Amino acid sequence: MLKVIKRVLRLSGDLSKRIYASFVFSFIDSIVAMFPVGAVFYTLTKIQNNKAFTGNDWLVLFGILIISLVVRMVFKYLVYSFQSTAGFEFVSRERITLGDKLRNVGMGFFHERNMGDITTTVTTDLNFLENYSMHLLDRVTTGMVNMVVTSIFILMFDWRLGVIFILGVLCSFLIYGRMQEKGEELTAKQRQVQAASVEATLEYVQGISVIKSFNMAEKNLSGIEKAYEKSMEASYALERDFAPMNVAYSMVFRVAACAIILVSQIFALGGELDFSSLAVILIASFSIFNSVEVMGQMTAMIRSMEASLDRVERIKGEKNIDDGGGDISLKSYDIVFDHVSFSYEQGTKILDDVSFTIPQGGMTAIVGPSGGGKTTITRLISRFWDIQGGSITIGGKDVREFTSDSLLKNMSMVFQNVYLFKDTIENNIKFGCPEASHEQVVEAAKKARCHDFISLLPEGYNTMIGEGGSTLSGGEKQRISIARAMLKNAPIVLLDEATASVDPENEVYLQQAISTLVKDKTLIVIAHRLSTIRDAEQILVIDNGKLVQHGKHDELVLQEGIYQKYWNIRQNAKAWKVAQ
């Protein structure tokens, strides 16, 4: 319990001052909460002594009640306002911190972690912390403060009754400790199955087109249904296992309250307590354990909050891919692979001892069978992953010496799987160059041959694109991504099947546009259409993670090997026609 409070205070940083202030306000509120009991005691003492109420007595009583009401309203407001604002700002900072962390970790992080777990952390866990962290913090701290204040008051009133109160609290702590242990175990499992259900939902939604195309919309629900059932069972187990402990925890306070009532009556019968004192004790016995009891009822939520904090801090603790990197400015842009070896998750090698040089200002094409490592080469140039052996340098500088920003500002990329954001077409094109003017956006769109179809849209360049570009065709998305790369105007251009989803008519124009884009730039092209790379300064043939051929088109078509085989297949395909 105290550990969770310390973690929240540590994470909140300078905002912890507001939280500490709220603790002080909570303490004052707890003191003032005892005033009405004092007013009752004052009244009963007057009655017991057969003294008539004077105007001053009524003023005292009403003064105590009104002051306690007003002061409690003020300090409750201060407690909630200080804690709530601190909580919202704290979680807002955590969202930004997690966003920065996800931007700066290596792509291997996303390869190793499932999206359900990451999504649950940045959505469900942060939402839970935002909505409940300060509320739980207030309940726990208020309970602890009230417990201390109440103990002091009862001990001052009658030390014997105070001992019973303290013994009741100590007994409750024994059960509370067991509740903490069980809560930690159950909430960890609950969060795990919750992440699995989110992952199953994401998989189902993202693959819905495939599911529907195979008429499996209903038959393919077994996986997602099982995930939801496990989530339900975990939540039910949490409530089922906590119910007996909650009953036992509450029963301790009921027994302690009954003991206080019984002992106080014995003292009254023995003449050790007067009527007014007995009445106050009987009234107070019904509420003195309330704040402590609430602490126990919050156990499951506190454990959930701790689990959420664990997951958030686990992501924050991931290593930044550019730790130790510097902001480097390049004067040249030749790229050198020197005995590079790489594998995902220490599995089969994707690249095995690969060496080559991509000269500045020239076009280098990479061809080869699918899965041979072509796209991996472009990912390693942009340092989405770190290699396990050898080195990759740009302008004589190892890519591991750069920060991500200083490295990627030198590159424009058009990958085969285009992703567009849920934003306007103009903002998607400006993504790599936010300061660009509308005229520059239009110019880039014209060069990429997407201006015409954009102009036909109802809102033109202000048309909103669906998530991932879902409202556009594959060719339209690819042309917009090429316009985005053109606008960025970086010295290194990476094209991975940039014309794969473009019709033949537009492909001619795009080839012209790409020629304009890459003028005086270092260009790396991955292509299966060999006709588009005939003029490349060099062609690298990659097969099973190795560089098997290297040269120009005219040289490679004369060499026996993969490139000649591909070229012959393409030439034969041109003469293919349906038999009559």
DSSP output for 307-339: HHHHHHHHHHTSPBTTTT-B----S---EEEEE
Is 321 within a domain? no
pLDDT of the residue at 344: 79
Q: Are residues 429 and 306 in the same domain?
A: no
Is 151 within a domain? yes
Is 547 within a domain? yes
Single out the residue of 504, 517, 495 nearest to residue 446, CA to CA.
517
Is 324 within a domain? no
Single out the residue of 61, 74, 84 nearest to residue 29, CA to CA.
74
CA 519 to chain centre: 40
Rg (C-alpha) for the chain, rounded Å, is 35
Gap between the terminal Cα atoms of the chain: 81
- Tell me the two tokens of residue 491: 């010295």
Count of domains forming the chain:
2
CB 318 within 8 A of CB 109: yes
Q: CA 19 to CA 25: how far, in whole Å?
A: 10
**∠302-303-309 over CA atoms, to 5°?**
90
Single out the residue of 390, 517, 371 nearest to residue 443, CA to CA.
517
CB 23 within 8 A of CB 79: no
- Tell me the two tokens of residue 258: 């009954």
Q: What is the CATH number of the domain that holds 56?
A: 1.20.1560.10
CB 159 within 8 A of CB 262: no
Instruction: Please count the CA atoms within 13 angstroms of the CA of 273 that sit on its side-chain side.
Output: 24
Range of the domain at 420: 335-574
Q: Are residues 438 and 392 in the same domain?
A: yes
Q: Are residues 251 and 351 in the same domain?
A: no
Q: Are residues 339 and 487 in the same domain?
A: yes
Q: Give the number of other CB atoms < 10 A from CB of residue 156.
A: 9
Single out the residue of 497, 476, 495 nearest to residue 429, CA to CA.
476
Q: Are residues 489 and 396 in the same domain?
A: yes
Is 309 within a domain? yes
Position 514: which residue type? I
pLDDT of the residue at 578: 46
DSSP notation for 46-79? HHHTTPPPPHHHHHHHHHHHHHHHHHHHHHHHHH
- Tell me the two tokens of residue 202: 């994401």
pLDDT of the residue at 218: 56
CA 408 to chain centre: 23
Query: Which residue numbers in the chain have pLDDT < 70?
Result: 1-2, 53, 112, 114, 183-184, 188, 191, 202, 205-223, 345-347, 498-518, 573-580
CA distances from 269 to 40, 191, 534 (A): 21, 56, 109
Position 46: which residue type? K
